[in-house]
Chains A and B, each alone.
Chain A
C-alpha cells in the first residue's frame, strides 16, 4: 500500500460511514461482555436483519468505553449518546433511531465529570472504532504516523520526536522512552528486536488488556514505528494466556495489516520491513519483568537475571532489544503524527502526556479512565470516579499494585505524576488504582499484596523467596492478634533486606505496601497488636488478654 492508497481508503470509509443513518457501537470489551454485551450485539444485528435496514444501520463491537460499572454500554454515532445498562430488549428502539426517546432514562450525561475531566490519547479510538476492522482504524487516521515516519523522517528524527515528547515508560519504572530507543538504535548490530510487554500481571489491572482489545492496530503501528527507529525487523508481543480476546484480536489485526502490506516487507514501498509475532505467556507475574520475559520468549524458565547488561545492549537471544509496555507503544502514533511538542504540552514538567488508570475498589464509577499527568487524586476519585459509595469515608488509594503503596487522605491533592507518587512512598505503576473506604483494614491490605508477591516470587534469590514468606507470616499473625512489637521490628528489617538485596524489581518493591501502610496507618498495626482490635472491623481477633476480659467475666 502507498500513502495515497491509505488516504483513499480513509476517504472511502469515512464516506461510507457518513452514508449510514446510524452506526451503533456496542462495547464488547471484557467488562461489558461479562454483563451480557454479546447478547445485545446479537439482538441488534438480528433486529437490523429483521427490519431489512442493513443498508442504513450498522452495528459494530468496540473496545472499552470506560464506565464499566454502568455496562453494558452502547453508543449511537448519529448523536454520540452513550446508553447505560442496555438489554437485548432495547435493540428495537436503538435500530429504529428511537433511543433518545425510549431509553432517555439510561442516557449518560456527556457533560458529566466522568467524561469532561478525561483526556484521551491512548484510548482515543477505544469505543469509537471496531477493533476487528482495519478500515475503521484507517478511517480514524490509522497508519498515517507510520507512513510519515517511513516516508518523511529518518530513524534519528523519529527518535528526536519521541525524545521531545518527554514520553516515559508506562510499564512502571518510567524510564524515558526516547532515551531507550536511542540506546537500542546506537548498537552497531544488524539483528535487533522490538518487544511489547503485554504481560500485565498486577492484580485488578486491565489497562493494557483494554488497549489491546479495543485498538490493537494502534499498538502494532507503534511497534512498527519503533522498529523503523531502532533498526529492528522483528517484533514480539508477549501476551498473557488469560487474555484470549486480546490474543484473538491481535492475531486478526496482524493478518489484516500484513495483507495490506502495513506490516511485512516493503512497507509503504520503502525498504523497511517489520514483522510481528505473538508469544503467549502462562500468566506468571514475574514474566512481566523484562529479563524474565525475554528468557520466557527464548523458551527458558521465566526467571529474571542480573542487569546490567540491560536489554537495549543485550536482550532477546543476546541481541539489542527494545522492550516497552503496551500503553507506551499506544502513545507513539499520536506523537509521530502530531509531533513531540504537542505531546509535551500535556502533563507536568517531568511527566508528559496522559495516563490510563483502571479504577477499582470502593468507588462509584469503576472502569477505565485516561487523565492528563498531574491530575490530582481528588479529581480522579471524587470527580471522575464519582466518590465513595454509600457515603462512606475515603481511607486510601492504592497505586502501583504489589509494588506500590497506599496513599492516605492528606495527599488527595498531590498531582499524580511519577515524582510526586514516589515521594509519598508509592509509585505510578502500570495504572491500577484501588480505592479503599473505612471498612478496609490496612494491615490486611498489606497482607494481601505480600501473599501475592510470595506466590509470584520466582524463587531464584533468597531474600525474596524466603523473605516474602516470613513477611507474610508476620502480617498474618498481626491480623490474627498473634504478633508482638518484636515482630514489627523484624518486619521492618526484612523489608529493608528485600529492598536492598533482591535480584529483581519484584523482591525489591514487595515491601512497599507494608512500608507505606506502616508509615501512614501505624495506629492500625498497634491496635491489632496491643488491643487485639481491628479498627476497620475487618479482621476477626480473639479478645486481648487484658483487664477487659476480667470485666466481662
Chain B
C-alpha cells in the first residue's frame, strides 16, 4: 500500500493511495461536514457540504469523491467554505418542512447538528412549505417526506448492502421524491425485506421506527461497519 503525505488545515497527515480526502481528514480528527456520505456504501458527492479547497486547483472539490495525492495542501474551513455550507443547510431548511420540535430524532439529527455547528440561528430564504405526505403503511417503519433531504443514503444501503433496491427517486429537481418499488406504498413493497437499514442510515427523521415519541429515536449505524468488515475481511467482529 503506497502512502501519500499531504497537509490538511496546516496539519501534516498521511493516507493511502486511493483513500478520499474526506476519509484521511476523518482519520486525523478533522471532521468535514457531510450529509450524503456514510461509511460502508459508495459515495455520490451529492450534498456538496464537504467541498474543500485544494491549493493550485481552480475549483473546489468534493472531499468524499477526491482521492488524496502526494503533496496536496487542503483547507477545509475557510470563511468562504463556511459561508457556502451555511447557505446549503439553509437551502435544506427552506426546501421542506423541518419542524424539529415534533420530530422523533430531535436532538440526534444530523441536519440539526449541522445547523448548530455552523451557527445557523435563522434562515434568510423564503420557506417553500410544500405539501408532502407521510407513508406509515409499513408495519414497523414510517417515511415522512417533509424531513427528507434526498441524500440517497437509504437508496444506496438498500441496494448495495441489503441487495433489495427497494428505494429510488421519482421526478427530478425540486420535485424529486423518494419512492419504494415503483411508487407503491412502502407497506406493499414486494422487495422490502423490512431489515431497517435505511432507517438507521437516514440522517434525519425522514425514515423512522414506529412507536417512538418526539426526541426518542436514536439511530445506530454500527451494523454497517460490522457488515462491511465481514465482507472485506471475513471476520464477524463488532
Using CB atoms and an 8 Å cutoff, list the residues of chain A in contact with chain B. Answer: 284, 286, 301, 305-306, 454-463, 465-470, 473, 486, 490, 493-494, 496-497, 500-503
Instruction: Tell me if A500 and B91 are in contact (CB < 8 A).
Output: no
Q: In the complex, which residues of chain A have a beta carbon less than 8 angstroms from the beta carbon of B175?
A: 459
Which of A284, A286, A459, A500 lies at the interface centre, i.e. has the most chain B CB atoms within 10 A of its CB?
A: A459
Asked, given contacts A501-B48, A502-B48, whether A465 binds B150 with beta carbons under 8 Å apart, the answer is yes
- Stretch of B8-16, B120-128, B180-188, B221-229 contacting A (4+ beta carbons < 8 Å): B120-128
Cβ distance B57 to chain A, nearest Cβ, rounded Å = 12
What are the 6 A-B residue pairs with the smallest beta carbon separation, nearest first?
A459-B176, A466-B91, A457-B173, A501-B48, A459-B173, A306-B65
Instruction: Tell me if A500 and B51 are in contact (CB < 8 A).
Output: yes
Q: What is the total of A-B residue contacts with beta carbons within 8 Å?
A: 92
Instruction: Tell me if B45 and A306 are in contact (CB < 8 A).
Output: yes
Beyond A306-B44, A459-B175, A502-B48, 17 extra complex contacts between A and B, CB < 8 Å: A306-B62, A306-B65, A456-B172, A458-B173, A459-B173, A460-B44, A461-B48, A462-B47, A462-B49, A462-B149, A465-B176, A466-B92, A469-B174, A470-B125, A473-B126, A496-B84, A501-B84
Does B54 reach chain A (CB closer than 8 Å)? no
Q: Supply 11 A–B pairs (Cβ within 8 Å), ascending by A.
A: A306-B62, A457-B172, A461-B45, A462-B88, A465-B150, A466-B95, A467-B91, A470-B91, A470-B126, A490-B125, A500-B59
Does B60 reach chain A (CB closer than 8 Å)? yes
Cβ proximity bits B140-180 to A, threshold 8 Å, 1 near / 0 not: 00000000011000000000000000001101111110000
Which B60-111 residues have a C-beta within 8 angstroms of A? Answer: 60, 62, 65, 83-84, 87-88, 91-92, 94-95
Q: How far is the CA of A301 from the CA of B46 in the complex (A)?
A: 15
Q: In the complex, which residues of chain A have a beta carbon less than 8 angstroms from the beta carbon of B176?
A: 459, 465
Using CB atoms and an 8 Å cutoff, list the residues of chain B in contact with chain A. Answer: 44-49, 51, 59-60, 62, 65, 83-84, 87-88, 91-92, 94-95, 124-126, 128, 149-150, 168-169, 171-176
Cβ distance A496 to chain B, nearest Cβ, rounded Å = 8
Of B45, B87, B94, B150, which contacts A493 at CB under 8 A?
A: B87
Instruction: Tell me if B88 and A497 are in contact (CB < 8 A).
Output: yes
Cβ distance A317 to chain B, nearest Cβ, rounded Å = 17
Q: In the complex, which residues of chain A have a beta carbon less than 8 angstroms from the beta carbon of B169?
A: 301, 459
Instruction: Name the residue on B nearest A493 (C-beta).
Output: B87
Q: How far is the CA of A306 from the CA of B59 in the complex (A)?
A: 13
Cβ distance B104 to chain A, nearest Cβ, rounded Å = 23
Instruction: Tell me if B128 and A501 are in contact (CB < 8 A).
Output: no
Instruction: Name the residue on A nearest B59 (C-beta).
Output: A500
Q: In the complex, which residues of chain A have a beta carbon less than 8 angstroms from the beta carbon of B51?
A: 500-501
Asked, given contacts A306-B65, A493-B83, whether A462 binds B60 with beta carbons under 8 Å apart, the answer is no
Instruction: Name the residue on A nearest B89 (C-beta).
Output: A462
Q: How far is the CA of A10 from the CA of B101 in the complex (A)?
A: 79
Asked, given contacts A459-B174, A463-B48, whether A501 binds B124 with beta carbons under 8 Å apart, the answer is no
Q: How far is the CA of A301 from the CA of B45 in the complex (A)?
A: 16
Of B59, B60, B126, B172, which contacts A458 at CB under 8 A?
A: B172
Q: How far is the CA of A465 from the CA of B150 in the complex (A)?
A: 10
Q: In the complex, which residues of chain B have a beta carbon less than 8 angstroms from the beta carbon of A461?
A: 45-48
Of B46, B124, B128, which contacts A490 at CB under 8 A?
A: B124
Q: In the complex, which residues of chain A have a beta carbon less than 8 angstroms from the beta carbon of B44?
A: 305-306, 460
Instruction: Name the residue on B nearest A457 (C-beta).
Output: B173
Q: How far is the CA of A454 from the CA of B176 in the complex (A)?
A: 12
Instruction: Tell me if B172 and A469 are in contact (CB < 8 A).
Output: no
Q: In the complex, which residues of chain A have a beta carbon less than 8 angstroms from the beta carbon of B171?
A: 459
Instruction: Tell me if A463 and B46 are in contact (CB < 8 A).
Output: no
Instruction: Tell me if A455 and B173 are in contact (CB < 8 A).
Output: yes
Instruction: Tell me if B87 and A494 are in contact (CB < 8 A).
Output: yes
Instruction: Tell me if B46 and A501 are in contact (CB < 8 A).
Output: no
Q: How far is the CA of A486 from the CA of B122 in the complex (A)?
A: 15
Instruction: Tell me if A497 and B65 are in contact (CB < 8 A).
Output: no
Asked, given contacts A490-B125, A497-B84, A500-B59, whether A454 binds B173 with beta carbons under 8 Å apart, the answer is yes
Asked, given contacts A468-B173, A469-B174, whether A463 binds B88 with beta carbons under 8 Å apart, the answer is yes
Cβ distance A368 to chain B, nearest Cβ, rounded Å = 31
Instruction: Tell me if B173 and A456 are in contact (CB < 8 A).
Output: yes
Q: How far is the CA of A459 from the CA of B128 in the complex (A)?
A: 16
Of A454, A459, A503, which contacts B45 at CB under 8 A?
A: A503
Q: In the complex, which residues of chain B have a beta carbon less than 8 angstroms from the beta carbon of A460?
A: 44, 46
Q: In the complex, which residues of chain B have a beta carbon less than 8 angstroms from the beta carbon of A458?
A: 172-173
Cβ distance A231 to chain B, nearest Cβ, rounded Å = 28
Cβ distance B118 to chain A, nearest Cβ, rounded Å = 14
Q: How far is the CA of A410 from the CA of B45 in the complex (A)?
A: 41
Q: How far is the CA of A494 from the CA of B84 in the complex (A)?
A: 9
Q: In the complex, which residues of chain B have a beta carbon less than 8 angstroms from the beta carbon of A462?
A: 46-49, 88, 91-92, 149-150
Instruction: Name the residue on B nearest A284 (C-beta).
Output: B172
Cβ distance B15 to chain A, nearest Cβ, rounded Å = 18
Instruction: Tell me if B128 and A469 are in contact (CB < 8 A).
Output: yes
Asked, given contacts A457-B172, A458-B173, A463-B48, whether A500 binds B60 with beta carbons under 8 Å apart, the answer is yes
Which of B46, B94, B175 lies at the interface centre, i.e. has the most chain A CB atoms within 10 A of its CB?
A: B46
Q: In the complex, which residues of chain B have a beta carbon less than 8 angstroms from the beta carbon of A486?
A: 124
Cβ distance A302 to chain B, nearest Cβ, rounded Å = 9
Which of A460, A461, A462 lies at the interface centre, i.e. has the most chain B CB atoms within 10 A of its CB?
A: A462
Q: In the complex, which residues of chain B have a beta carbon less than 8 angstroms from the beta carbon of A463?
A: 48, 88, 91
